[in-house]
Structure 1
Amino acid sequence: MTGRANPVLAERLMLAVQGVRRVVRRRVRAELSVPHLPGSQVELLRVVDEQPGIGVAAAARKLSLAGNSVSTLVNLLVEAGLLRREVDPADRRAARLEITEAARERMTSWRRARTGLVSAALTRLSEEDTTAIAAALPALEKLMEILKEDG
């Protein structure tokens, strides 16, 4: 069974999600003493962390970005010491990407700060509200998968 299109719900959902992300990002950035990374660089680090040894072209597909855009991101992250580019032994023309220990530590700190911030905020909600958020998560995860499939 599918629902009807509801542009008001879609807009409210996007505003809420974007608002939460923006506030968390701003607060975590202020808490951590590392230089800010643009979202696209953070997304690439996450992809490489999830799939060590991924190639540039595969990372570009996963991020829905042009290959040359991902190559630029790779170069910036290599220069920053957060990503390693290694020659693929099976195809010497291709590169395999790995995050560095510095990137791993940075991502761990960022996750810890983000999780702590949101966890603390959740304790200030009523039990009813936290139950509603928990109940909505499976549907939001399905929505994310549908949006990925359509892209």
Structure 2
Amino acid sequence: MEETASGGASAARVAAELRGVLGRLNRRLRQQADVGDLTRSQLNLISRLEREGPATVSDLARAEGVRPQSMGATVAALEEAGYLRRDPDPADRRKASISLSDAAREQIAASRLVRQDWLQRALSRELTREELERVHEAIALLSRIVGNA
């Protein structure tokens, strides 16, 4: 690892290595979850609806930075597959409010459990108790960097 003049690790080097490791970890976690034939944009939309709750197609298109027509096609495909439902918007009954179906919520929860189980087993298999404690300490430091977002 690159060091600064004072002998410590360079922030630039740590940032580059951390980004690489987190990217690989994220890919491994995604591999554990069976998302079927969903595209990245479909998965992003499902994640957004889970985090932020129901929204109109226009609101979703704006949030994802795509045209409303493109978002409409994504919503229609997910609705047909049973992941989304469309209800009259409570604020304007002429609009539709898009939300996750119960089946989608169940699949998200199951997928999360699979990823959690894989990571727990990997941590137990690869790290000593002391190393696990160091990772736990690093999590607190990383949390400080990203804040409570």
Check whether TM > 0.5: yes
1:118 aligned partner: 119
Distance in 1, Cα, partners of 2:62 & 2:142: 23
Question: Between the two proteins, what is the percent identity of the paired residues?
Answer: 30
**Which stretch has the larger CA shift, 77-86 or 50-59?**
50-59
2:65 aligned partner: 65
1:6 aligned partner: 11
1:26 aligned partner: 31
Displacement of 1:73 in angstroms is 2.7
Q: What letter matches 1:43 in structure 2?
A: N
2:21 aligned partner: 16
Larger radius of gyration: 2
Matches within 5 A, 1:2-151: 6-29=11-34, 35-60=36-61, 64-66=64-66, 68=68, 69-124=70-125, 125-145=127-147
How high is the TM-score relative to the length of structure 2?
Answer: 0.73
How high is the TM-score relative to the length of structure 1?
Answer: 0.73
RMSD between aligned residues: 2.8
Q: Does the CA-based 8 Å contact 1:56-1:67 persist in structure 2?
A: no
Total equivalences in the alignment: 138
Structure 1: runs of 5+ lacking an equivalent: none
